[in-house]
Structure 1
Amino acid sequence: MRGKIFLILALAALAAGALLLARLNQPRTATPTAPAPPARAPILVPDAPFEETDWFALVPRDWEPGKTFGADIARLSDKDPRAIDALEKLRAAWADAPVEPAMAGARIRIGGFVIPLDTDNGAVTEFLLVPYFGACIHAPPPPANQVIHVFARRPLRHLTMMHPVYVSGTLRVARDKTPGSAAGLIDTIGYEMDLEKVAPYKLD
């Protein structure tokens, strides 16, 4: 089991564009023999660029889970009954972890690890993206606000468990129970994304 890994990405200040539809029709005086001028075609502005985002941006600033659990649990063995009980309480708290409403509709690029869900002939169509993976008291499963349910537009091959990638798309706030095979690993999802781009994650 790998330890807790956080992917710290540079937060780029990119201007967010909006989709504009402009139709210019200025009234003109037309004579019986002169045809009316044609309407100008709408002007389409491309989608806003993706903003480089780290996982801390998905967490509300006033959320302080450390106040609920003290540092003593770090000294417990994973097999200690107190650690097992603490892990259950921690998972319940993680499932209720608040999301950041300001991130709804944000077009982001974020790096993380893949947990495959649905597949199509060996290709992945849905997956969870998380900043780290854990299942014990020293590295518990990620909270809901650190889990993104990603929907691919087309089946993706060569994505395996804990595959490191960058994903780009529009984020949605969508708290839900974890579907399928990952239900026993991670309890609750805080965000969803319709995938537009995926790329390998490379350490600098």
Structure 2
Amino acid sequence: MRRLCLLLLLICPPLFAELHETDWLELMPEEDRLALEQMPQIEHAGAEADRAFDAPGGLKQADDLPAVMYSRNTVAAMDGRQVLLGGYPVPLESDEQGRSTEFFLVPYPGACIHVPPPPPNQIVLVRYPAGVMIEDIYAPLWVDGRLQIEPVSNALADAVYALDASEVRAVE
């Protein structure tokens, strides 16, 4: 049985490529991960009163955070890689049927309404022309597609990765 599994891996690697879930920390260089581990606790209280997530700058960083929270550092090895990434959507664009065709994917729920948001290297712009119905931003999604290093800045957030999704589905 073991030989059969190894043979299948050699013959059909694309079939097994999607089985590997990409960890969000793989998108950060080692020095950024270490800096995050050493960072003091950040207060999240009161963010909703300060501004709405969809207001200009709603996911932008405040000016008084540790430098790692503004990091635009990327991992070159991730550029062009096929990934399966789980996260939470922040809708940006939708089609006539109300399906989201472009959204930010963030690693934890509430990142779109709590300060501080993730660093730019922990926010991924997802483009999905087929669209997906997003009824609850607290419901996680799996996104499968090719990741690119692509700096993106709009009124809502800054990101340094973009992903052209081939599939988007709810986490079950």
* TM-score greater than 0.5 by the shorter chain: yes
Map of 1:55 onto structure 2: 24
CA deviations 1:27-64 (Å, max 9, x no partner) are xxxxxxxxxxxxxxxxxx96983332111111111224
Quick one: distance in 1 between partners of 2:45 and 2:140?
29
Return the index of the structure with the highest Cα Rg: 1
Quick one: distance in 1 between partners of 2:45 and 2:118?
20
Shift of 1:163: 3.1
Quick one: distance in 2 between partners of 1:87 and 1:16?
48
Quick one: distance in 1 between partners of 2:137 and 2:66?
21
CA deviations 1:107-151 (Å, max 9, x no partner) are 010110011100112111101110113355xx5201111111000
SS class of match (1:109): strand
Whether the aligned pair in 2 keeps the contact of 1:116 and 1:160 (CA below 8 Å) is no
Map of 2:57 onto structure 1: none
- Length-normalised TM-score, structure 1: 0.59
Shift of 1:92: 6.8
Whether the aligned pair in 1 keeps the contact of 2:125 and 2:159 (CA below 8 Å) is yes
Percentage of identical aligned residues = 28
- Specify which of 72, 77, 95 is matched with residue 120 of structure 1: 95
Quick one: distance in 1 between partners of 2:82 and 2:10?
8
Q: How does 1:19-38 map to 2 (within 5 A)?
A: none
Whether the aligned pair in 2 keeps the contact of 1:149 and 1:191 (CA below 8 Å) is yes
Whether the aligned pair in 1 keeps the contact of 2:95 and 2:131 (CA below 8 Å) is yes
- The aligned amino acid for 1:176 is V
- The aligned amino acid for 1:49 is A
- The aligned amino acid for 2:117 is P
Quick one: distance in 2 between partners of 1:52 and 1:67?
22
SS class of match (2:103): strand
- The aligned amino acid for 1:201 is V
Please tell me whether residue 106 in structure 1 is matched to residue 81 in structure 2: yes
Map of 2:5 onto structure 1: none
Please tell me whether residue 165 in structure 1 is matched to residue 141 in structure 2: yes
Higher relative contact order (CA 8 A, sep 6+): 2
Shift of 1:16: 9.9
Give structure 2 stretches of 5+ with no counterpart: 1-8, 48-60
Map of 1:130 onto structure 2: 106
Shift of 1:87: 4.3
Shift of 1:67: 8.3
Shift of 1:189: 0.6
**Greater fraction of residues in helix:** 2
Task: Say if 1:53 and 1:68 are closer, same or farther in 2 by CA, change over 3 A.
Answer: closer
Q: How does 1:26-105 map to 2 (within 5 A)?
A: 49-50=17-18, 51-63=20-32, 64-66=34-36, 69-71=39-41, 78=46, 87-90=62-65, 93-105=68-80
Map of 1:154 onto structure 2: 130
Quick one: distance in 1 between partners of 2:118 and 2:93?
20
